Chains A and B, each alone.
Chain A
Amino acid sequence: MIARVVKAGVLTTVQDLGRAGYRSQGVVVGGAMDGFAHRISNSLVGNSAEWATLEVTFGGLELYFEAESWIAITGHGVAVRIDGTEADCWRPLRIAAGSRLQLAYTGQGCRSYVAIRGGWQVPEVLGSYSTYLPAGWGGYEGRALRTGDVLTYGQNLPPLHPSLNWSLAPAALPAYQTHPTVRVIRGPEWGFFTPESQRAFSRQSHEVLPQSNRMGYRLEARMQKLRTTELLSTAVTAGTIQVLPDGNLVVLMNDAPTTGGYPRIAQVIEPDLSVMAQLVRGNQVQFSLLSPEQAEDKYVQYQEFTRNLEETLVQRLHPTTNVH
């Protein structure tokens, strides 16, 4: 045992980069909602991006560490305390044996990630550690964490240098906001909607409705269709914005089904899904339109930025390679 769950919080699940290669089997991709925060929490403790982290929704997690460990907490919306003393997010943190880690929700944002050096150990299901709650698979026994659960790490890595005391610069973080502008491209069924609705889609703010979860975010809107054509189910993916029969929007997220039949008015670009993932009911989203070419360039820049950052962080963990 490395850590015991003293309080599980509202919803804490094991997540990773998601299940690749099973969409044609109807298997949801899943994985960390804020993929950037997941990846960076891992690199802050020298892990691979693929290793499991804990996704903590609305804080409330409390862990008791039996053994000395290195952890990193990223994402948005929690205040961290170790044995009652405040600690920063977005940096490697040493936890002494016998310490208590507490994540308190701050009221802004939604999801934070706890990585441990060596990665959290859970069995792989269809090539992934991510928990898929509706079917009860993956992660920790296919369910959210509960009080008394015992966690351990997957790989035994040497401890980091105890003098590590830097944090990631705020400029490197996603632009987490309660009223963000999220970039989209037009969806295949953009033309199904009236010009007024198209204008309202990209010029008005849309409020996040309470029925929002890992499957998708419901947003307030009054989209009017020009035609009532029924669609045949086709593949959808995280970021696909569908229009529901009541005119509201749903932005599909990681646990969304692999196929859907509602009209797709737009698609959130992948770099902005991390921002989307941190929204809570009552927040307002504004959409700005990009061309598909611009979207691809943004995606490539984002991936290159994230990879460079991961490499830089991992190098900085080892003082011998950090010559001044």
Chain B
Amino acid sequence: MIPPVHCYVLSERALVIAWVQRIDPAIAASIRKLQKQLTNQPFEGMLELVPAYASLTVFYDPLRVRNQYATSNSQRWVEAYLWQHIEKEQDQVVTSASRHIEIPVQYGGVNGPDLPYVAQHCGLSEAEVIDWHSRAVYQVYLLGFVPGFAYLGGLNEKLATPRKHTPRQGVPAGSVGIAGAQTGIYPVPITGGWQIIGRTSLTLFDVRENPPARLQAGDTVTFVPIS
């Protein structure tokens, strides 16, 4: 368990618990544990928890906090509550089961129009790009940008490729892309600047499901090439 380093105000109804700002699976695991603990023991007025790479943001209703806990400043009250839980967390061993999800991907061709560019940029053959991309185990750090978009950590640095200069209109849902040292999957059709190397037929976001996103922060992911 890596403890957070500070807590700051985002807005009148959101506080952010921040860790040392780095992409680190151990920090991600600590965030997941605190998220789980707060979900199990919410304070009155706690509304939403949003995990990110090295932070957990807590949205709350100041009126409910003030009324429930007879305080004149909900922000100070919530901050004290959060630190109390963080200290408790230090001594506890919470085992959180992490899920592993395999994502079938058709690389290249119409599904991955930028595969040739990525291969050329990285000085690899297309087959090598597919091999390196599908060999790694990725971790989902956060969902953001668009609904269900998973930020994945663990891309081999050999494959790092800058974003496109001009974003492509109408990137289809399921497109697997690379941007800098990141890889990810577009869950909904949208304009996007990532280099598209393949596509999955899995539905990654469905408003009828609960939760609607197939990938959740904390999951691990591998890509399985299919032809």
- Chain A residues close to B by CB (< 8 Å): 20-28, 125-126, 134-135, 137, 185, 188, 231-237, 239-240, 257-260, 264, 267, 269-270, 292-293, 295-296, 298-300, 303-304
Contact = CB atoms under 8 A, between A and B. Distances in A.
18 contacts: A20-B47, A20-B48, A22-B147, A24-B48, A25-B213, A27-B147, A28-B147, A125-B207, A126-B207, A135-B146, A185-B11, A188-B10, A234-B57, A235-B10, A235-B55, A237-B59, A240-B10, A292-B75
A25 B147 contact: yes
Contacts of B190: 134-135
A188 B148 CA distance: 26
B75 A24 contact: no
Contacts of B73: 293, 296
Given A26-B146, A257-B146, A296-B12, 7 more contacts: A26-B145, A135-B147, A232-B54, A234-B57, A235-B50, A258-B144, A259-B144
Nearest to A268: B11
Contacts of B205: 25
Interface of B: 8-14, 16, 18, 21-23, 47-55, 57, 59, 62-63, 66, 73-75, 142-149, 151, 188, 190, 205, 207, 211-213, 217
Contacts of A304: 63
A235 B62 contact: no
A300 B62 contact: yes
A233 B52 CA distance: 7
B13 A299 contact: yes
Nearest to A299: B12
Given A22-B212, A232-B54, A267 B142 contact: no
Nearest to B187: A26
Given A126-B207, A135-B188, A292 B144 contact: no
Interface of A is mostly: mixed
B59 A23 contact: yes
A267 B11 contact: yes
The 7 A-B residue pairs with the shortest CB-CB distance in the complex, in nearest-first order: A259-B144, A235-B57, A26-B143, A299-B12, A232-B53, A235-B50, A25-B213
Given A125-B207, A188-B16, A233-B53, A24 B11 contact: no
Contacts of A269: 11-12
A296 B74 contact: yes
B169 to A, nearest CB: 12
Q: Which of A185, A264, A296, A304 has the largest count of B CB atoms less than 10 A from its CB?
A: A296
B211 to A, nearest CB: 6
Contacts of A25: 143, 147-148, 205, 211-213
A233 B23 CA distance: 10
A26 B148 contact: yes
Given A232-B54, A233-B53, A299 B144 contact: no
Contacts of B66: 300
A160 to B, nearest CB: 30
B25 to A, nearest CB: 14
A222 to B, nearest CB: 25
Contacts of A239: 11
A235 B54 CA distance: 11
Contacts of A125: 207
A281 B59 CA distance: 31
B11 A270 contact: yes
A293 B62 CA distance: 11
B62 to A, nearest CB: 6
A154 B211 CA distance: 27
Contact of A259 (B52, B148, B207, B213): B52
Contact of A126 (B53, B212, B217): B212
Contacts of A236: 10
A253 to B, nearest CB: 13
Contact of A24 (B16, B53, B207, B217): B217
Given A24-B48, A134-B190, A188-B16, A303 B143 contact: no
B146 A234 contact: no
B8 A26 contact: no
Nearest to B58: A235
B63 A237 contact: no
Nearest to B19: A232
A270 B13 contact: yes
Contacts of A270: 11-13
B181 to A, nearest CB: 11
